[in-house]
Structure 1
Amino acid sequence: MPFRFLRPPRVRRHARDPDADRSLQHSLRDAMAYAVMQGGAETYLSAFSLFCRATAAQVALLSTLPPLLGSLAQLLGAWLARHARRRKPVILGGVLFQALTFIPILAVPWWFPDQAVPALLVLYACYFAGGGLAAPPWTSLMGDLVPEQRRGRFFALRTRLTSIMAFTALVSSGLILHYFDHRAATTIGFVLIFCIACGARLVSAWHLGRMHESPVSHAPTPVDVFSGHSLRVLRRTGALWFSLYVVLMQGAVAISGPFFAVYMLRDLEFTYLQFMVNTGTMVLTQFVALNYWGRISDAFGNKLILKVCGLGVPVIPLLWLVSDNHWYLQAVQCVSGIFWAGFTLSTGNLLYELVPPVRRAGYTAFHNIMVAFSVFSGALCSSLFMDVGAPRSTLLGDPSHASVLLNLFMLSAAARLLIDLFLLKRVRDLRRPRRPLSARQFLIRVTGFDALMGFMYAAVPFLKQSKTK
């Protein structure tokens, strides 16, 4: 069988039906190939934009506007998933279109050397639109194939495999770029990683084409979300407050998010190897931390994780103001990975819990579109902030180093904190935790403060007895 290197270990059957089980095996291989594309190429799109002489504001535009257009393509994908007789042609069309966009992307330095930014904007938009078009029918297809009682185990396995492959691809692409950059052939390095990404997505399409398509089970389109009854239900469950919090928080994050790559590669003059190590550290930390956050979620609920990690998210950009030392920033990325792993897990689980199943597909598409619009708005505001001649700030550990991007890091931290203070308390968790625990009690346990207090409590009587002897 072709593509044996993408064959995951077959430990157990994922479904009793042979066709469904075989389809889910292909789904795992599709996920692994997709992760190669995402980790090996999509992670380096900002670096490629800088290589094509894009400014910091243009990098922000290239990082946020194409995903917004891609999320809008989900509306078309949802409509096609509802009205088309078969979903696989829609999925394969979007996936193949996404794969083929890498061909003109890698040719931009030769075809459009003086108009690289407009060309990349169009091509990045096509790339994300292809993925957005395929997402709703793929979600519908997977919902029919994965048995409900095995859904958690299957997607947990799928997430582990994709994380491993994405991290491996990220490291490999970083090493490729580092090798060719040292030989003054950086363009060849980008061409190579984009060719690998294109091939990986074509492998993904092959496995998607081998999946069995069960009868279509139609789900409400995003328009159904705005009916009066739907809004009353969503308001009663707390889904609207939750979405408002996530949407605004992602916008606050986008004030600084697109500029970390610019800060490392342009201002700190990181090599591609250092950039890969810094980015890979966060990805690896997230992968490790997800297992622990998952156990905490099962025991204490998702609201606790969101409180702890939501209050930790504003701290992350402030840590970048302390020093530009490479090893210090590695430690910062470890802290960032821990908090973002918990934030991502808790928000994903809460979205699933707060939205009734019959409205989940439509509301999720609406939620994702609003998040993408907020991210674009946050990045646009920061770009305008730089265009008006914002002052430069200096690092606490090195007053000689100044960058306008440090102001954006502080502004993003302040916006994140304000959103936490006003909206985090309104987020609800409908699922009652097995072991209720407050965020304060959790932090005391994690830091070991309760163990220290217990030791002191036990030591005081002992010391009193020693004095009386």
Structure 2
Amino acid sequence: MEANKALFFRPKRKISDYRRGLWAATMEGFPAIVVLQLLGGPFLTGYLLFLGATSEQIGIVLAVTTLVNIVQLGAAVAMQKIKSRKMTLVLFGSMHRLLWVSTGLIPFVLPQVWWVDAYIVLYFLAFLSNGIGSVVWTSMMGDMVPAAVRGKYIGIRNTIVWAIGGVCIYAGGQILEKYPGAEGFHLIYIICAICTVLNIIAFFFYPNPPFAKSTELDIRGMLRRPFQDAMFRRAVLFLSAYLLVQGLAVPFFNFVMLDVLKLGYSLVSMYTLLMTLVMMVSYYLWGALNSKYSTQLLLLWSLPFIGLSCLLWGGIAFLPALLVLGAVHILLGIGTGGFNLLAFNFIIGDTPKSERPMFIAVYSALTGIAGFIGPLLGGVIFKHAANWPEWLQQYGICAITGLLLLMYAAAGKYVFGKKTA
């Protein structure tokens, strides 16, 4: 009896700071994914169409998220002087969520003629804040998660978080199906406002790990270091070009389904849900593979899946569109899950710790410029496509883009070299 009593009252083992940090990063992801899924993806395109946006304006909005990553260069330099990465994350992470969710107020406070322009301005400011917060968050995650378990942890975290995201996509589609137009979007924004508050609270639970500052003495030296790394330089330039071509079509999948093929919100959200479920599983699988194979090799393996998802749009010419779109989103989920996970692991795992913020910033800036140009050109192409044969609008642009992506991905092994072995 005494032995059992002693066992019952034995003090619990203290949770290590490292485990506490992993739990904080996972829990913070829950409200964050709700906001991301309900204000992004098909609901972003749908809300912009509701506000009266054209394909060009949608292209600008989709491009903004990557262009603002240029600010990370300045953020990486500023990080050398800040006292607390955690409070910087709290500040800019909160600004991003608050500014984005404030776009839901536009129809209530502004004349209709200003709706789209106001959205673009608020969206730009929101993702400018996110660009600063992202380099801080990525740097902290690199210090919080041991290299030995990094791929597996990020894979498991993303699997869990995106499971919640899948529920959100289904719920959002049902809301807009039952309450079309303004009422449905108002309900979505109310949910996102609540999650924004929870997300801001969750930021405060992050740890503030010690920061290894750059060994370079000036800004020019810090900027020079990433470009002196031949492998990093080749990889980033290669991936930037790939993302530019990808941006011509992938960001417009929802636009084509909603505005060209005239599919309903519920059906489009189900396709997005399918992609999310596949991506959720693929995060785990890619993470498990990353413990056996090099990050560079797996990164190359993920690229053809994205190209195939675009090329497969051409199947609409021969097969039922609903069947083809299902296969498209399965392939996109596999490829996107792998690319997101492995690109993240590449920039935080294969770069020197003290210079990691600048490596992150250079990667984000170069891929951001490419990611801006791609959707911008895509928006122009889809605008002019309104006067072209209907097949080009429905599947031709996407299929041609897919063919280009596959041809380009095949050259990747010559860019990454021996490290892909």
TM-score by length of 1: 0.77
Q: Which residue matches 2:405?
A: 416
Shift of 1:152: 4.7
Q: Which residue matches 1:267?
A: 260
Structure 1 residues 416-425 or 44-53, which shifts more?
416-425
Residues 386-422 of structure 1 deviation map (CA, whole Å, 9 limit, x = unaligned): 555675245xxxxxxx453644324422432342344
Indicate which of 237, 240, 251 corresponds to 2:233: 240
**Matched letter for residue 315 of structure 2:** V
**Matched letter for residue 51 of structure 1:** F
Q: Which residue matches 1:366?
A: 362
**How many angstroms apart in 2 are the aligned matches of 1:342 and 1:207?**
27
Indicate which of 93, 96, 101 corresponds to 1:95: 93
Indicate which of 187, 193, 197 corresponds to 2:192: 197
Native 8 Å contact 1:24 1:145 kept in 2: yes
Q: Which residue matches 1:62?
A: 61
1:126 equivalenced with 2:125 (yes/no): yes
- Across the aligned residues of Structure 1 and Structure 2, the Cα RMSD in angstroms comes to 2.9
**Matched letter for residue 356 of structure 2:** R
**Matched letter for residue 425 of structure 1:** Y
- Structure 1 33/383 Cα, relative in aligned 2: closer, same or farther at 3 Å? closer
Residues 239-260 of structure 1 deviation map (CA, whole Å, 9 limit, x = unaligned): 2111111100000000112221
Native 8 Å contact 2:236 2:363 kept in 1: yes
**How many angstroms apart in 2 are the aligned matches of 1:350 and 1:428?**
15
Indicate which of 208, 211, 228 corresponds to 1:213: 208
**Matched letter for residue 130 of structure 1:** S
**How many angstroms apart in 1 are the aligned matches of 2:46 and 2:215?**
39
Native 8 Å contact 2:260 2:394 kept in 1: no
Native 8 Å contact 1:247 1:370 kept in 2: yes
TM-score by length of 2: 0.85
Q: Which residue matches 1:294?
A: 287
- Structure 1 297/30 Cα, relative in aligned 2: closer, same or farther at 3 Å? closer
Q: Which residue matches 2:37?
A: 39
Indicate which of 63, 76, 83 corresponds to 2:81: 83
- Structure 1 113/290 Cα, relative in aligned 2: closer, same or farther at 3 Å? same
Query: Greater relative contact order (Cα 8 A, min sep 6): structure 1 or 2?
Result: 2
- Structure 1 421/171 Cα, relative in aligned 2: closer, same or farther at 3 Å? same
Native 8 Å contact 1:144 1:217 kept in 2: no
1:383 equivalenced with 2:379 (yes/no): yes
Shift of 1:312: 3.8
- Structure 1 426/197 Cα, relative in aligned 2: closer, same or farther at 3 Å? same
- Structure 1 331/374 Cα, relative in aligned 2: closer, same or farther at 3 Å? same
Residues 109-143 of structure 1 deviation map (CA, whole Å, 9 limit, x = unaligned): 23241122211110111221222222233334444
Indicate which of 404, 415, 418 corresponds to 1:426: 415
**Matched letter for residue 213 of structure 2:** H
Indicate which of 12, 24, 27 corresponds to 2:25: 27
**How many angstroms apart in 1 are the aligned matches of 2:383 and 2:337?**
33
Structure 2 residue matching 1:404: 3-state secondary structure: helix
**How many angstroms apart in 2 are the aligned matches of 1:298 and 1:316?**
26
**How many angstroms apart in 1 are the aligned matches of 2:250 and 2:353?**
32
**How many angstroms apart in 1 are the aligned matches of 2:352 and 2:324?**
44
Shift of 1:265: 0.6
* Identical aligned residues as a percent: 20
1:281 equivalenced with 2:279 (yes/no): no
Structure 1 residue matching 2:179: 3-state secondary structure: helix
**How many angstroms apart in 2 are the aligned matches of 1:174 and 1:133?**
31
Shift of 1:274: 0.4
Gapped runs of 5+ residues in structure 1? 1-11, 395-401, 433-469
Residues 217-258 of structure 1 deviation map (CA, whole Å, 9 limit, x = unaligned): 32479854542x6533x11xx221111111000000001122
- Structure 1 214/201 Cα, relative in aligned 2: closer, same or farther at 3 Å? same
Residues 277-319 of structure 1 deviation map (CA, whole Å, 9 limit, x = unaligned): 0111111111123333334443344454444443343332221
1:74 equivalenced with 2:72 (yes/no): yes
Residues 139-186 of structure 1 deviation map (CA, whole Å, 9 limit, x = unaligned): 3444444455554554344222211122222222121111101xxxx2
